[in-house]
A and B are shown apart, each in its own frame.
Chain A
Amino acid sequence: MASAAIKKIIIIPIFAAVVASQYAYDRSKLEALQIQFPAPLQLIRVFDLGLHSAAASLLWIETIVQLPFFQRGTEPFFNNFRTINDLDPKFSFPYAFTVLVLPTSRAYPDKIAAAIEIGKRGIAEADPDWRIPFYLAAVHLLELKDHENAVKYFDIASQTVGAPHYIKRFSSTFVLAKTFREQTREFWRAVYENAEDEQIKDRAGAYLERLEIFDLLDKASGAYFERFGSYPKTPQDLVGAGIISEVPQDPFGFELVFNDAGDLSVQ
């Protein structure tokens, strides 16, 4: 009877040994044994049983995590992106997400040009998706200060089938905003209040937070000028002058500096 009981419970330590060996393997980070297998398009087309849309979606899930830091380098990302486009040319989400996130990457110098090229291709080839022209407009507005193209793409977004009503409203009120910062704030507020997915909402929230910091530092910089007759060079100077208690952290981790004219910019 004792041996029968032993036979029943011995499975527990054996299974524990399986879990422990898996844990030890993961801790030792034996990544050298893993080779990144690039997904050639023809191979996928042979083996995907015609499920090109699903294969593209699956590949996109694997690819999306590389933005914006490009942990495996930029080439695998863009190769995968091209494969996804070839498998399912009408798949719009990769275009939209890449246009939104790529401009914030520090790992890729040509990010703005690439984002614009991808956005234009997405508008031409993919399903009508208001997000592509909308985020493309944002790139023109925020990165290039290109008001004319921003208006053009916001308009395309509002005319796209399926665009939510707030986009149509935003597009018509956007041109009325007085300053560039007001326009930017309007844009990100619209995205933040109406985005359904958390990542995009967080990103918009981060931009709004940055704009709040800009407002705070602008005001503080004005007070510094009144006291000392010149503008501060860095936000640390404002702390030293006792105008603010601490340097606010940029939500994207960039350094904020003042130029000679007292304008704040991202370094």
Chain B
Amino acid sequence: MTVHNVFVITKNTFKETIRDRILYGLVAFGALFILLDLFLAKLSLGDMVMIKSFGLAGVYLIGTIITVFLGASIIYREVEKRTLYFVLSKPASYGDVILGKFFGLYGAAILTVLLMAAVYLGVVLYQGGGFDARGFVAILYQLLEAGFFVALLTFLSAISTPLTSTIAAALILFSGHFMSTAVENVKRIGGFTKTFIDAAYYLLPNLEKFNVRNVVVHHVPLSLEPFILSAAYAAFYAAVLLYFAYAFLKRKEL
């Protein structure tokens, strides 16, 4: 594995991804969805908490949909269409492919989220909320989650079809946000159920680590330490997923 080849594949993947016309449609839809915030601003009588809540929710939902859409077939397509033949017959390794695909797709996901973030920040500015620095911090956390999701999709697409990958990603999206609540709820029940839920909590991804949306819209202070811990969590979990993606891909008969 070489940094050079990872960079070449990253660049190629990024270029290929951002030329997908369906992506343009999704980003445009995302921008419209966030602009809908202007209409919701009227319904909310200009309450800034509601405007920011809806706006950040829009950036998150559309950003996640786009990430899943881009990533669900990222490796599967390479194997099915045999474009991997061109790469692996040259001095590039499976590791180069996995990392290059990951970084290329992650770059495209970051670009789309930042585009929608710009629309969101514009809406808040227009509504008289000034530059929403705290909202931008929430979006930075979202980018950490996007990194995790891209790694997850790289792994899923190495082992299954796009449809299965999408369904699995959706289930993990829900469980990832629900797990914290489940852990609190089973404390009262105890026993095997509690043990099972606790184990699931640590094994399955916990996406609430990347969720500060509810905090940034209120006057709750933010600090750097949670961001660093969340970034470390995302990096380690992504590393595990990418390693498994590499292992599965290497075992595939091309």
Chain A residues within 8 Å of B, Cβ to Cβ: 42, 45-54, 56-58, 60-61, 88, 90-93, 97, 127-128, 161, 196-200
Closest CB-CB distance, B199 to chain A, in whole Å? 19
> How far, in angstroms, from A48 to B60 measured CA to CA in the complex?
12
Nearest chain A CB to B154 CB, angstrom units: 22
Closest to A58 in B: B54
CB distance from A31 to the nearest CB of B (A): 22
Known: A50-B211, A90-B220. 16 other contacts (CB 8 A): A42-B181, A45-B181, A49-B61, A49-B173, A49-B174, A50-B208, A51-B213, A53-B53, A53-B213, A53-B217, A53-B218, A58-B54, A60-B50, A93-B49, A198-B45, A199-B45
Complex A-B: 23 CB contacts under 8 Å: A45-B178, A45-B181, A46-B174, A46-B178, A48-B177, A49-B61, A49-B173, A51-B56, A51-B60, A52-B214, A53-B53, A53-B57, A54-B54, A54-B213, A57-B44, A57-B50, A60-B50, A90-B220, A92-B49, A93-B50, A127-B219, A128-B219, A197-B46
- A50 with B40: CB separation less than 8 A: no
Contact A51 B219 (CB under 8 A): no
Are B49 and A57 in contact, with the CB atoms below 8 A?
A: yes
Contact B207 A50 (CB under 8 A): yes
Residues in chain A near residue B173, CB distance under 8 A: 49
B80 within 8 A of A: no
Label chain B's interface by main secondary structure. Answer: helix
Q: Would you call A93 and B47 a contact (CB within 8 A)?
A: yes
1/0 per residue, CB under 8 A from A, across B40-76: the answer is 1001111101100110110011000000000000000
Residues of A within 8 A of B44 (CB): 57, 60-61, 93
Contact, CB under 8 Å: B213 / A50: yes
B49 surroundings in chain A (CB, below 8 A):
53, 57, 91-93, 127
